[in-house]
């Protein structure tokens, strides 16, 4: 950890053990001696922190950038092994708590950042912290821990259902370069480290009741070299084979999924964008299942040349089986219709159902069940698993979908087999988080699918694919132009790469 110097995340290493562990709370072979040795080491480093700061500035600055992209300002954040508090402060939390085993580091952190809270505690015993956080940060800490599994078990105390655990740890390929850097004075001296692979950490997360979401590599050149460090750290380290040479593994996890408590069924709003779909409206009204505690249908009509609007209005006025409302969009495109429908929705869960009935309304039950069981936080339909009905999708459209699924899976960091299936499901509270951060990408998506997918990836939501049987439309013609819209997809893929991958 070439930069394990003064800044917060490097000192996160130190976070190993508690301030005053009792024999009952910590009874692991040699852990007290381990804690005391590490605490003395980092107390000594705290006195020379600023002597070591300059050579490591590039590393710390890059880590700050990465974590700021992952953690929205104003969040509740706890950093284990916070060192002098620099990383925690850089995240601008609404409430920030730093946990550290070195009193020397904590004293510096408290003086430098009086607006943050700090506590002297052991990562292996966090029983003294009785609160939960939106983000738990373990930066350069796993390398230092006496027992990683025990510490990750303790992390669960700090989590609610939507908490994200973010960690970074060094690649074992950097053992000798870092060893040389420390002996030459370019990096802070450390005691013997754990050298963990991504597979090791993923397995430890599973054992501790955490679910892996995504991982990637960062920092190929941990030194300030104008232009070259940007090329190495923002581009080359994300591309094979250079990614295998990166210094730092990043990983995001959450609590393993558990369903909602029995009886706590959320309400549902199903948004149906409809343009020139008059022949499908009655079937939608009749076939859409009643989900959760109650369900409403929201139709958004988009300037149809047939009698779609009149058909919907007549059925809405006729006291349908499900409560239904109709809105007329002032803008253009499905994306605009979806945003209007979501803005008008009153219920807990938001579902998109395309009015062409290419996805059977009856299939919405499995989407809803996956969300409520917490299998994922963004449930995405997939048309490319089961055989399709004849004429359901043209050949070149199929090729394009497969190409873009590969591209977007690479950019999003999670497997997404089908980016253009119209059926997507998420909680309204999670959609609001996406909407609040929409300016990061801009209003560039006429389809609505990518606006949601990019936002979900940016928020580190767990994206889960649900395979469906894709049906040929029985009324009307598709509103998609394969060539012009294909060019738009290419441009959106480039925007996503710039905003999510090469940043």
- Give the gyration radius of the chain's Cα atoms: 25
Given pLDDT bands bounded at 50, 70 and 90, which one contains residue 480? low
Tokens 């998109």 found at: 352
Residue 338, pLDDT > 70, answer yes
Q: What is the mean pLDDT of residues 477-501?
A: 76
pLDDT per residue as tens digits for the range 115-147: 999 999 989 999 999 999 999 999 999 999 999
Tokens of 170: 């060094």
CA distance 62 to 82: 17
Given pLDDT bands bounded at 50, 70 and 90, which one contains residue 392? low
The pLDDT of residue 476 is: 56
Strand 159-170, strand 424-427: pairing? unpaired
The pLDDT of residue 460 is: 96
Question: How many other C-beta atoms can be found within 10 angstroms of the C-beta atom of residue 362?
Answer: 10
The pLDDT of residue 147 is: 94
CA distance 350 to 473: 24
The pLDDT of residue 442 is: 82
Q: What is the mean pLDDT of residues 72-96?
A: 97
Q: Which helix (H) or strand (E) holds 286?
A: helix 281-287
Angle value at C-alpha 179, between 175 and 183, nearest 5 degrees: 175
CA distance 340 to 345: 9
CA distance 328 to 302: 6
pLDDT per residue as tens digits for the range 93-123: 999 999 999 999 999 999 999 999 999 998 9
pLDDT per residue as tens digits for the range 200-233: 999 999 999 999 999 999 999 998 899 999 999 9
CATH code assigned to 8-255: 3.40.50.150
**Closest by CA position to 11, among listed 136, 98, 116:** 98
pLDDT per residue as tens digits for the range 421-451: 889 999 999 999 999 999 998 877 878 888 9
Helix axes 395-412, 449-458, angle to 10 degrees: 20
Residue 18, pLDDT > 60, answer no
Residue 252, pLDDT > 70, answer yes
Tokens of 456: 């979900």
Residue 176, pLDDT > 50, answer yes
Angle value at C-alpha 8, between 204 and 80, nearest 5 degrees: 35
Query: Would you give the DSSP letter of residue 124?
Result: T
Residue 24, pLDDT > 90, answer no
Under 8 Å CB-to-CB from 382, ≥6 apart: which residues?
417, 418, 421, 465, 466, 467, 468
User: How far is residue 60 CA from its own chain's centroid?
Assistant: 22
Helix/strand/coil (H, E, C) string of 411-432? Answer: HHCCCCCCCCCCCEEEEHHHHH
pTM: 0.86
pLDDT per residue as tens digits for the range 37-67: 888 888 888 877 554 445 567 888 999 999 9
Query: Would you give the DSSP letter of residue 470?
Result: P
The pLDDT of residue 326 is: 96
Query: What sign has the CA pseudo-torsion 306, 312, 317, 321?
Result: positive
- Strand partners for 117: 97
The pLDDT of residue 397 is: 64
Query: Would you give the DSSP letter of residue 377?
Result: S
DSSP conformation letters of 162-220: EEEEEEEEE-GGGHHHHHHHHHTTSS----------HHHHHHHHHHTTEEEEEEEEE-S
In three-state secondary structure terms, 293 is coil
In three-state secondary structure terms, 349 is strand
Strand 210-218, strand 159-170: pairing? unpaired
CA distance 109 to 106: 5
Asked if 225 and 276 count as a contact pair (C-beta separation under 8 A), the reply is no
CA distance 170 to 249: 6
Mean pLDDT of the chain: 86
**Closest by CA position to 68, among listed 137, 123, 14:** 137
CA distance 193 to 90: 26
In three-state secondary structure terms, 133 is strand
Query: Cis ω on the peptide bond leading into residue 137 (within 30° of 0)?
Result: no
Q: What is the mean pLDDT of residues 362-382?
A: 95
Asked if 196 and 396 count as a contact pair (C-beta separation under 8 A), the reply is no
> Above pLDDT 90, what percent of the chain?
63
- Strand partners for 136: 78, 165
Domain 268-501: which CATH class? alpha beta
Question: Which has more confidence, 390 or 162?
Answer: 162
Q: What is the mean pLDDT of residues 77-103?
A: 96
Q: How many CA atoms lie within 13 A of 36 on its CB side?
A: 6
Asked if 281 and 274 count as a contact pair (C-beta separation under 8 A), the reply is yes
Total number of residues shown for the chain: 503
The pLDDT of residue 209 is: 96
Q: Where are the domains of the chain?
A: 8-255, 268-501
Question: How many other C-beta atoms can be found within 10 angstroms of the C-beta atom of residue 439?
Answer: 8
Asked if 453 and 447 count as a contact pair (C-beta separation under 8 A), the reply is no
């Amino acid at each position: 950890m070439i930069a394990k110097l003064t800044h917060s995340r490097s000192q996160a290493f130190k976070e190993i053990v508690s301030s005053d562990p009792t024999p009952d709370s910590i009874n692991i072979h040699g852990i007290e001696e381990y804690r005391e040795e590490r605490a003395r080491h980092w107390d000594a480093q705290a006195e020379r922190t600023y002597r070591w700061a300059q050579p490591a500035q590039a590393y710390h600055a890059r880590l700050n950038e990465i974590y700021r992209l992952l953690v929205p300002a104003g969040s509740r954040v706890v950093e284990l092994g916070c060192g002098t508090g620099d990383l925690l402060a850089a995240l601008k939390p609404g409430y920030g708590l730093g946990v550290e085993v070195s009193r020397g580091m904590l004293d510096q952190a408290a003086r430098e950042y009086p607006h943050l809270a700090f506590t002297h505690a052991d990562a292996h015993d966090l029983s003294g912290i009785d609160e939960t956080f939106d983000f738990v940060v373990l930066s350069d800490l796993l390398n230092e821990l006496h027992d990683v599994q025990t510490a990750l078990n303790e992390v669960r105390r700090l989590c609610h259902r939507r908490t994200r655990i973010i960690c970074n740890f060094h690649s074992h390929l950097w053992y000798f370069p870092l060893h040389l850097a420390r002996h030459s004075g370019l990096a802070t001296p450390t005691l013997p480290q754990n050298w963990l692979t991504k597979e090791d950490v993923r397995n430890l997360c599973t054992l501790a009741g955490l679910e892996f979401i995504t991982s990637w590599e960062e920092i190929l050149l941990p030194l300030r070299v104008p232009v070259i460090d940007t090329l190495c750290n923002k581009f080359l380290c994300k591309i094979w084979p250079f990614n295998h040479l990166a210094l730092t593994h990043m990983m995001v996890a959450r609590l393993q999924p558990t369903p909602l408590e029995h009886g706590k069924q959320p309400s549902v709003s199903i948004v149906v964008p409809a343009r020139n779909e008059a022949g499908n409206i009655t079937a939608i009204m009749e076939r859409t299942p009643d989900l959760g505690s109650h369900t409403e249908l929201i139709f958004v009509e988009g300037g149809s040349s047939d009698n779609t609007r009149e058909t919907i209005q007549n059925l809405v006025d006729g006291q349908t089986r499900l409560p239904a409302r109709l809105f007329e969009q002032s803008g253009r495109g499905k994306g605009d219709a979806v945003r209007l429908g979501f803005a008008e929705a009153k219920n807990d869960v938001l579902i998109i159902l395309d009015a062409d009935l290419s996805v059977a309304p009856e299939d919405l039950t499995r989407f809803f069940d996956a969300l409520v069981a917490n299998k994922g936080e963004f449930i995405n339909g997939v048309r490319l698993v089961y055989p399709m009905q004849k004429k359901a999708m043209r050949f070149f459209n199929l090729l394009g979908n497969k190409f873009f699924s590969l591209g977007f899976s690479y950019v999003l960091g999670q497997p997404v087999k089908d980016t253009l299936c119209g059926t997507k499901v998420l909680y309204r509270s999670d959609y609001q988080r996406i909407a609040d951060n929409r300016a990061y990408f801009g209003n560039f998506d006429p389809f609505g699918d990518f606006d949601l997918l990019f936002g979900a990836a940016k928020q580190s939501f767990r994206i889960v694919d649900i395979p469906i049987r894709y049906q040929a439309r029985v009324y009307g013609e598709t509103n998609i132009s394969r060539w012009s819209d294909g060019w738009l997809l290419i441009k959106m893929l480039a925007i996503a790469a710039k905003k999510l991958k090469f940043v």
